[in-house]
């Protein structure tokens, strides 16, 4: 091992130690959504990214036919980027954005599976405190229960995007069901906010040609991720924070979750790593089509 490799190894070890140590202090300071102190990092769980409840969109929408062939997608991803996280993840598709071109140190924080009445307000408070913007990929079944949280997300200047109605793996569904999952959620968002979403993310990052065609026909650009925080595995807040800091680069889209399970670790990690990203010159912004 040469001198430069030894230096990089020492830097990595020290950075991980700093993250874990600082998070111990954060746990005592940052309250959880119900007003009680957060209990701190929990034991890792092997469970994958959780889906919402099983009830689907209205049966009448299931009868819709497939979309017409895809036209030009609004977002143009950088070539060669991949998204390989979560169960069932498909190979990278050239029309899905994993990282966006930028002339500055912009990064794109995204939060999936909400809104959640406890964790979404916590995430919003942290982002607001630091003047950061993000993109929230919401589940229709959750959004219909908490429309006020959709308004809170939009009122804070964040983007509200489509993550299907009930979080199925789109590549296992017939075209009519895909159209229903995406279309019903877009209709709900438009009803609540007055504007339909122009971004969508497939559960598990799993797109295929029919689902991409339907996404495009509904006026949305497909979005993946370049950095998976791994918060869906519940590895501990320190591991989540270190993963984001270690893998971040300009233009990267970062995957995290504000719903779909217990997300106290995500909140705790965000409270620690977000000011560090700002200190390093990064600027978290929302994804714009």
Active site residues per annotation: 112, 257
In angstroms, rounded to a whole number, what is the distance separating the alpha carbons of residues 26 and 21? Answer: 9
Structure tokens at 150: 């959709």
CA 22 to chain centre: 24
What's the DSSP call for residue 62? Answer: G
CA angle 125, 51, 256 (to 5 degrees): 35
Buried b (16+ CB within 10 A) or exposed e, 18-41: ebbeebeebbeebeebeeeebebb
Provide the phi-psi class of 157: left if phi over 0, else alpha when psi is between -120 and 50, else beta. Answer: left
Structure tokens at 15: 């950075």
CA 106 to chain centre: 16
Strand partners, 228: 255
Which helix (H) or strand (E) element contains residue 114? Answer: strand 106-114
Size (the chain), residues: 289
Structure tokens at 168: 């199925």
Helix (H, G, I), strand (E, B) or coil at 164: coil
At a CB cut-off of 8 Å and minimum separation 6, what does 97 contact? 75, 76, 77, 221, 222, 223, 224, 253, 287
Report the relative pairing of strands 159-162 and 221-222 from DSSP bridges.
unpaired
């Amino acid at each position: 091992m040469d001198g430069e490799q030894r230096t990089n190894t020492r830097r990595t070890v020290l950075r991980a130690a700093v993250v874990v140590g600082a998070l111990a202090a954060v746990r005592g300071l940052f309250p959880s959504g119900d007003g009680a102190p957060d209990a701190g990092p929990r034991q890792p769980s092997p469970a994958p990214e959780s889906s919402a409840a099983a009830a689907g969109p209205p049966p009448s929408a299931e009868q819709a036919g497939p979309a017409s062939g895809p036209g030009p997608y609004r977002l143009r991803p950088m070539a060669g980027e991949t998204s390989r996280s979560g169960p069932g993840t498909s190979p990278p598709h050239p029309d899905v954005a994993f990282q966006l071109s930028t002339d500055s140190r912009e990064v794109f924080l995204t939060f999936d599976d909400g809104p959640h009445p406890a964790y979404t307000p916590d995430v919003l408070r942290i982002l607001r405190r630091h003047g950061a913007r993000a993109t929230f990929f919401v589940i229709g079944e959750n959004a219909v229960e908490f429309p006020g949280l959709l308004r809170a997300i939009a009122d804070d200047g964040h983007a509200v995007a489509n993550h299907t109605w009930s979080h199925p793996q789109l590549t296992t569904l017939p075209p009519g069901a895909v159209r229903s999952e995406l279309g019903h959620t877009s209709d709900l968002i438009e009803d609540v906010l007055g504007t339909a979403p122009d971004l969508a993310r497939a559960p598990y990052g799993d797109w295929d040609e029919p689902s991409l065609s339907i996404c495009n026909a509904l006026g949305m650009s497909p979005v993946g991720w370049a950095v998976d925080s791994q918060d869906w595995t519940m590895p501990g807040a320190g591991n989540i924070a270190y993963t984001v800091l270690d893998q971040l680069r300009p233009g990267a889209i970062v995957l995290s979750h504000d719903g779909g399970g217990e997300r106290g670790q995500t909140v705790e990690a965000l409270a620690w790593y977000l000011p560090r990203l700002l200190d390093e010159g990064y600027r978290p912004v929302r994804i714009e089509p």
